[in-house]
Amino acid sequence: MNINYMKFFALVICLFAFTNVSAQKDWKLVYENDEAGKAVYGEIENLISHIRDGRPIRMYYRMGGSKPTDRFVEHTADAKFFTIMNSNGKTLVMAQIDPIVGQTPSFEKGTLTLKENLEWSLIASTTGENDQMTRNVITGEVVNHSTRKWGTKWFVFH
């Protein structure tokens, strides 16, 4: 067997092994809470440990009906700012996303349109109570500010 062929074959094997190991790094669900703040999956201490270690965290949540035939939207966002709070002996996590351009779904048309000059912000919480705000970026006026309850899945990048 040719020595150059053996070197090439060894290089291909090494690259394949490295690619395979790298491909195993992805987003893993570490915690999920329901809309009442009850743990559905995982331990909040595990989520907090990943936050303290500086790992990227991504959140997933569904807003809308509970049946598959109901109208709903699902969102995924990277958490950008965290608060770990000890409140009445219970440890909680709140995470804020970067503001996004506001959007409006049309369930009748199956479309999503941007809201001109409006920015939407969110703080998701392991309590299930989430704070959202829409602001006019031209005037600075807060157009809408409300809390809504939903469950959140919390993923960590490994």
15, pLDDT greater than 70: no
CB atoms inside a 10 Å sphere around CB 41: 12
Over residues 87-123, the pLDDT tens digits come to 999 999 999 999 999 999 999 999 999 999 999 999 9
Domain ranges of the chain: 26-64+75-157
Q: What percent of the chain has pLDDT over 90?
A: 78
pLDDT band for 68, please (50, 70, 90 cuts): confident
Give the pLDDT of residue 66.
76
Beta bridge partners of 113: 104
pLDDT band for 59, please (50, 70, 90 cuts): very high
Averaged pLDDT for residues 121-144 = 98
